Amino acid sequence: MKFEKAIAIASDHAGFNLKQEVKKHLDELGVAYKDYGTYENKSCNYPDYAEALCRGIQAGESDLGILVCGTGVGMSMAANKCRGIRAACCSDTFSARMTRMHNDANVLCIGERVVGAGLAADLVDVFLGTAFEGGRHQIRVDMITALEEKR
């Protein structure tokens, strides 16, 4: 897999170990990434790391990101508060594929307490390897963007 920009990655303490596994997988694939923290498994607040990663995407440092927490849900909730971010919490490859194809998701959220390292690697592969289909789906993505503009 080749990307023009590094993949953004971040976690809280509950996702730290799985984030390290995902980073190893990205290294094996030869995919560059930028780690927005946390850098240890000491208790911390996941919204801080979701925001840091999202700001990196908003600034154009990355096009795609991966967030890891205990379930993936908290990170997805926080990330989706950021303009231009379409984060999807996935624990199966079908959802990871479809959220890229139909929703143009730009952030994959996964949970260390939900998926193991092997499934996380599969989710990352599918998410990063799937392109947005556009077409009729672009209309719906534009509608999501319009909702952001109303806030």
Hey, which residues are catalytic here?
A: 69, 102
Q: Is 9 exposed, middle or buried (0-12, 13-18, 19+ CB in 10 A)?
A: buried
Q: Is 67 helix (H, G, I), strand (E, B) or coil?
A: strand
Q: Are 106 and 130 in contact (CB under 8 A)?
A: no
Q: Going by C-beta distance under 8 Å and a sequence separation of 6 or more, which residues neighbour residue 107?
A: 8, 53, 54, 57, 64, 65, 66, 67, 76, 79, 85, 86, 87, 88
